[in-house]
Structure 1
């Protein structure tokens, strides 16, 4: 039995590799989606508006390009990371030049050129070079019952999730003095790749102790993760709603059985699935420490997986675990489902008293996609913690400029991108040198002048939001509240 049959027959599945150029051109001029080799859906689903067909067209074309360029992207990413770490290990451009010059001259001290080890505790990802910060803010950390601390801890864990295991273990153990449980890799049944990552750590200093599960977001040069993000396919779960299929597949959706409550991973021990593995790990940890609570978090794609993890726990009626779930903290999270799914999650969050904090920074484009639509695409549910470029916050049912591609917001977004570039130079003068943009982040802000909202999605501003953001009454925020604060 296929997933589409398991989900009550309502679905929209895109098969980009089946689409020809002629197929795509026809899509733009016909609202009928059924009987197409590259689209699977019931006969009653149509794309009446051109905007809807254009989004499907764009998604399919982008996926086709990513399918063909995956190896090239990986090679580019590996080379970029190696180059960045080589520069860092040798003291920057000037230091590397001097060391290489010694080699060319046959200098006896020429062995000083350092080649970084990709698995070492000093090797950083591209995300690490966007933001060097490792330590938590002590003034916030001391208030360990404060929601601001949990937001900071969640964002820093989300940032660490992009790094290798040695780096994370060193930072969590030696800098944060917390317990590191590991970096996990998970199988995607549909992509047939180990494309989902997550870390688990535990803060034993809080009372009760706090376990943090942080899902890794989209890596810039990982084509499989980009395909997960931009695939507009969805399945409808009975009594739950429509959910983005790419995110469900990344979390552990089973190819031939959907979301069974239990699966047998012993017969396929080399295939571990994110939802099922993390759920069992949490049960073991929480049974060993019954006073502990846990948080689920993530940046970007990681945020989508975090909220869906809570959704599937609810679907499976894991009441004991949901009672232990303190909150879901997401940063730059894309939309994951429709209005029915939103209503299902609102009720679930209230029932189990789970906090849901969706941080949205300024013009970040990712929380505004996929496009909000009543029929084919996705909405967000509940209020977001929306922060402007001065790190002042509001609680909003949906952030301003809720759809990224809005003509009315073009000029304001560009002006704000200019302001953020300028602010990057004087913020360290006001707040301290730890707020200085790295040269790579400064370069990203220049890119943001061309595509506003790109640099706003990156981790540094979300770290700044959790450190400097002002949002009163954050501890009392629930998914049902829509009041605004400054």
Structure 2
């Protein structure tokens, strides 16, 4: 990955450049405070020692660079393994099950999967195969936007044909396009999103869904583990990896308001599409959603709209719904966003399920300074939701939480076999997810990050959790 950039727009920043690291120099960061003297780290001249004097901070820098370096070295074999695993899972699906596959092999009638077909599922899709919306949750129900958003966020992991078929045939909505956007720093199309239009509601609704971190995509994981940040005047500090994924230009002064109209950078391309779509209907609204990394991009998108004073678009934004979203900025950024969300009456719901590890990263402490904001709807493993200021055990790692996590993971594994009999066939879990539940006995935060539990939470959870922060908003929908 190429990481050099023009930093003239920010006088305060901390940038990591793992592609330039040497093992000996990386180890030295644990014992020397001068980050600006290291080739793989960059911060304002003279600020390195003062800002990175604690061992805890240098340790996190060490871990961040080491993980990114490992991911870069494993990028091709990881992608190869992921593609083969997805192909095998789809091979089993195409032939119903392993027994039928053996019979078809003997008969010479094996059905082979097509990676570009509307039936081919990603690894994430194999964890939760549901494509239908919950028909009991209709427009006007306070759960409607959340239920639609989580399904859009889940489907965003699939190929274009799958997304189009799901939106058009199952949801009876208009598919507007699925896109691969350019990341200037990784020099690849590594950011994905799709748009749909729901004409079944009044006013009509446009949904922008950002794809999250694909399980075997090393570049996306590098964005997650990159703890670089930039400070923007009047806005605060924002996560560098997420901004790069959203479309931070490499050769410009930060976030210029306008660039090439036909840009392939996510923020600029989506903004242009929304301008054109919303100009055709003065009453239309749009919402933004995403799971995991997609959730981070979903909330950063209106942040950059606010930076550019895009009042017309912000007034048409009817909500931001994120699921398993990591932290994206510091406390000052949170305050800036709270003011912007209040100013334009934009509901922002951040869904967190049980022990999901991702919303608890990067750390919220004196070392890393990342903070959450917005309305946090926290669901326990019984899908009982409540609004909280911060999810329990906010930094995940705690000796006191180990035993409760294991007990909860055991319950989730048991529930995977019983939930279909309690809630119905639509909630049945497959063997792939059950294997992941077993992994959860060791690291509870991994299976808890699956879209399956977020879909369940939006369908089984009480609608009351939406009302305290969105009472006026919901009344508007019901009129």
Output the CA distance in 2 between the equivalents of 1:84 and 1:375: 42
Output the CA distance in 2 between the equivalents of 1:351 and 1:60: 38
Question: Which residue is equivalent to 1:338?
Answer: 330
Q: Which runs of structure 1 show a deviation greater than 4 angstroms over 4 or more consecutive aligned residues?
A: none
Shift of 1:235: 0.8
Shift of 1:394: 1.4
Shift of 1:473: 4.7
In the alignment, which of 56, 60, 65 is matched to residue 55 of structure 1? 60
Q: How does 1:386-465 map to 2 (within 5 A)?
A: 386-465=378-457
What's the secondary structure of 1:114's corresponding residue? coil
Output the CA distance in 2 between the equivalents of 1:352 and 1:147: 19
8 Å Cα contact 1:4-1:10 kept in structure 2: no
Shift of 1:339: 0.6
Output the CA distance in 1 between the equivalents of 2:147 and 2:33: 46
Shift of 1:28: 1.7
In the alignment, which of 40, 48, 51 is matched to residue 42 of structure 2? 40
Whether 1:205 aligns to 2:200 is yes
In the alignment, which of 32, 38, 63 is matched to residue 30 of structure 1? 32
Question: Which residue is equivalent to 1:224?
Answer: 219
Whether 1:4 aligns to 2:11 is no
What's the secondary structure of 2:390's corresponding residue? coil
| Alignment length (residue pairs) | 464
Q: How does 1:30-429 map to 2 (within 5 A)?
A: 30-42=32-44, 43-44=46-47, 45-102=50-107, 110=108, 112-141=109-138, 144-257=139-252, 258-266=254-262, 272-374=264-366, 376-429=368-421
Shift of 1:238: 0.9
Shift of 1:81: 1.1
TM-score by length of 1: 0.93
In the alignment, which of 454, 460, 470 is matched to residue 462 of structure 2? 470
Output the CA distance in 1 between the equivalents of 2:377 and 2:34: 38
Output the CA distance in 2 between the equivalents of 1:416 and 1:51: 30
Output the CA distance in 1 between the equivalents of 2:154 and 2:289: 10
Shift of 1:46: 2.3
Output the CA distance in 2 between the equivalents of 1:376 and 1:385: 24
Shift of 1:424: 1.2
Output the CA distance in 2 between the equivalents of 1:478 and 1:147: 9
What's the secondary structure of 1:186's corresponding residue? strand
Output the CA distance in 1 between the equivalents of 2:147 and 2:6: 38
Output the CA distance in 2 between the equivalents of 1:342 and 1:450: 33
Shift of 1:265: 4.3
Deviations 1:233-284 (A, max 9, x none): 0111111011011110111101021200000145xxxx50100111111111
What's the secondary structure of 1:295's corresponding residue? strand
Output the CA distance in 1 between the equivalents of 2:76 and 2:270: 29
8 Å Cα contact 2:142-2:463 kept in structure 1: no
What's the secondary structure of 1:5's corresponding residue? coil
Output the CA distance in 2 between the equivalents of 1:322 and 1:348: 9
Shift of 1:315: 0.4
Say if 1:2 and 1:194 are closer, same or farther in 2 by CA, change over 3 A: closer
Unaligned runs of 5+ in 1: 103-109, 480-486
Output the CA distance in 1 between the equivalents of 2:202 and 2:468: 19
Deviations 1:311-333 (A, max 9, x none): 00000000010000000000000
Output the CA distance in 1 between the equivalents of 2:396 and 2:6: 31
**Does 410-419 or 232-241 show the bigger shift?**
410-419
8 Å Cα contact 1:392-1:471 kept in structure 2: no
Shift of 1:31: 3.6
Output the CA distance in 1 between the equivalents of 2:326 and 2:463: 22
